[in-house]
Amino acid sequence: MPAGHIRGLIGRSNGKGRIEPMLHVPVIAVDANGADLGPAEVAEGANIAAAQGVRVLLFGPAAELGAAGPGIEVIDAPLSIAKEPNPAAAARANPESSIVRAAQAVAAGDADALVAAGATGAAMAAALFNIKRDRSCARRWPHRCPYRGRP
């Protein structure tokens, strides 16, 4: 994501050519395990985001993440869910894995969003088991919502 776009997310123009900071700094839970180039590459990206004013909770093997800059909190979670034939079972069986712990941080309100570079199935399962679904779609799109008629 270009740095200018990130700046646009964390600040708003006051109409006079200056950016005024927002009251809430976004906190992103990042799963560093599972990336093609390894956890250290994800940590470098987290440092770039933190330099732009985003707070990052970085979940992964602390020994492989390197030095974390300001605005980054490293949470040691060395267990990774690789591409499993049954990602839902893997997410349930490994509650200490980095993707599950990152999803739990979002569910607990410690983070606003989750970013994962690993297996999509594991990320989806961890999110569904911890963050849950937004059931307010029945009010927004009544003709397309699978929860139509349910509270």
pLDDT tens-digit readout, 15-32: 565 655 556 788 999 999
Which helix (H) or strand (E) segment holds residue 20: the answer is strand 19-21
| Residue 145: inside a domain | no
What CATH number did the domain enclosing 108 receive?
Answer: 3.40.718.10
Q: Which two tokens stand for residue 13?
A: 């123009």
In a domain, 79, yes or no: yes
Instruction: With respect to residue 72, please indicate whether it lies within any of the assigned structural domains.
Output: yes
Strands 19-21 and 11-13: antiparallel
Residue 90 lies in a domain: yes
Is 146 a domain residue?
no
Q: In whole angstroms, how far apart are CA 47 and each of 30, 70, 114, 151?
A: 12, 8, 16, 42
Query: Model pTM?
Result: 0.74
In a domain, 147, yes or no: no
Per-residue pLDDT tens for 31-81?
A: 998 888 888 899 999 999 999 889 999 999 998 888 788 999 999 998 888
Residue 58 lies in a domain: yes
Domain of residue 75 covers 3-140
Percent of the chain with pLDDT over 70: 73
Domain annotation covers residue 149: no
Query: What is the domain count for the chain?
Result: 1
